[in-house]
Structures are given as C-alpha cells and as structure tokens.
Structure 1
Amino acid sequence: MAGVSEQAYSPEERRAVYRVISERRDMRRFAPDGVVSEDVLARLLQAAHAAPSVGLMQPWRFVRITDDALRRRIHALVDEERPLTAAALGDRAEEFMALKVEGILECAELFVVGLCDDRDRHVFGRRTLPQMDLASVSCAIQNLWLAARSE
C-alpha cells in the first residue's frame, strides 16, 4: 500500500483542487457555443462514477436528455413542484422561489440523475444504512459539478 508521501500532490495541484471547490457554481453557460464535446461529457461522467459509495453500490443512473420536447416536460414538472417544495420550507419559501429553473431549458447539456432504490438490495451497507444511497448519489453529483467547473 502506498504511503501518504507517495500520493502527495504538488502545491499547484492542491491549489487547483481547492479553487475548483470554492468556485463551484451552477453551470448554466458551460460552453460558449452551446456544445459540449463527447470527450468532455465522458470525463464528467467518469468523474461522477469515481465518487465514493458504500459497498461500491453506485446506486445512480445518469440519463442524458437530448430531446427538446422531453427537456420542456422536465422543466414543466420541476416548475410544478416548486411551490410544493417552497411550502415545505417555511421561512425560506420566498428565497427558494427566487431560484430560477430556466437553466433546464437553456443549458448546453441536461442530465437527470436517478437513484435506484431497490437495485442490489444486499450490497454491503444498503441493508443497515439505507440512507447511504442518497449520500452516494450526492457525492456522484458533486464530482460531476466539480469536474464541469474544472473544464
């Protein structure tokens, strides 16, 4: 097993990691021409799949949405759900409703992330810590966002 010193990153590499984390924001204008290359998409998904997951369950499915009609339907569903979510937030409802969902229609690429609840029920950790599904998929999404920011 490699020691910590064998895995050390240069100061520049460490700064780059912290910079990507601190500058992570919603990416609505990812590509100036509205096109994300297949190579970049492959790297983003590779980063997502490298996320930690309990028992290597990887309970996520990334679905690339390329059909404009489906994109509009997804936007309509999200827009319909917004007031219900806002109502559950109490004092933060107004702040939540100020968030824009037009990015669903405007972004260069759209992925829907599915959490597969009943897939491989007997994977290590799933029976005893079922909330690890959500934690794992959250890590995958964060990896994808950080990778997108670095691009």
Structure 2
Amino acid sequence: MNRKRTVFLLGAGAALDWHNAPTTTSLTNFLKCAGPKNGKGEYITKYIFDYFKDKYTEELNFEGLIDIVEQCLQFWSTKDSSCTIANSLIRPDDEFWKNTIDYKYFNPERDFGGDRQQTEESKFFAKLLINILDGISDKILGYSFLYV
C-alpha cells in the first residue's frame, strides 16, 4: 500500500474539491446505516439522527451526530447539570434511552478493562463513538491510500 496523498478532515463546511472523496452527505448516510440496531430493528445511529434532526439548529450531518453521541456519553458519565443534552430535553427515564442503548453491543470486561467507575450507559456510548470515528476513518483511508 503506497500513500498517494495526505487527507485532512476539515469538517462538513470545507470547500476543498476532494476529487471523488466521501462527501458530508455520504458520510452522514453511511453512519446512519452502520453499527448496532435497537430492539425495534432500527440502526441506533439512524434513530439518534431522526430523533434530533428537527431539534438541531442547523441541518444535521455526521458532525452533529458525533456531537450528540459525545453529549450522550457526557450525560451518563457525569452528574454535571451543565450537560447540553440534559438541559435541552432528555431525562434519565426518557423513552429515547430505551430505544438507543443496547447493552449487548459491548463487553464491559473486554471493551473497557472492567472499569467499574463508568456506568453501563456511558460504556455503550463510548463504544458507539469509537465505532463511528473508526467508520469515518475507514472511509477517509480508502481515499487517502492507493492500493497496489
């Protein structure tokens, strides 16, 4: 594998011509149909996207989805009332969490070394965030390298 170019992911508003690289829309659509499914058979990332798309101030894309998952992780990692998601619309007993969190998605011992200080919910969102970032990285890698 020979490196053909260096890629910098600048964000959804970047105006550089990527020459057939993944677009904001393609990355967003990819992430909505990736990862674990909830009890209703929906992709969890799509459920999160659909839940927040009308509540977001701007058009929701892959960056906004990452932000929401980070806020969900923060929500379950801290009792800090300054968490954006906590202040906006979701309580710990909200139906949103039941349709989002899948405890079978991760193995607490394998994925987190048995860290007992994290809640199960925060472990779920940490794993989901890692997999989202890995998915984006894979899409960018396919553009960054020329396979020989």
TM-score category of the 2 structures, normalised to the smaller one? 0.3 to 0.5
- Structure 1 or 2, whichever has the larger Rg, is 1
Task: Provide TM-score, normalisation by structure 1.
Answer: 0.33
> Which one has more relative contact order, counting CA pairs under 8 Å at least 6 apart?
1
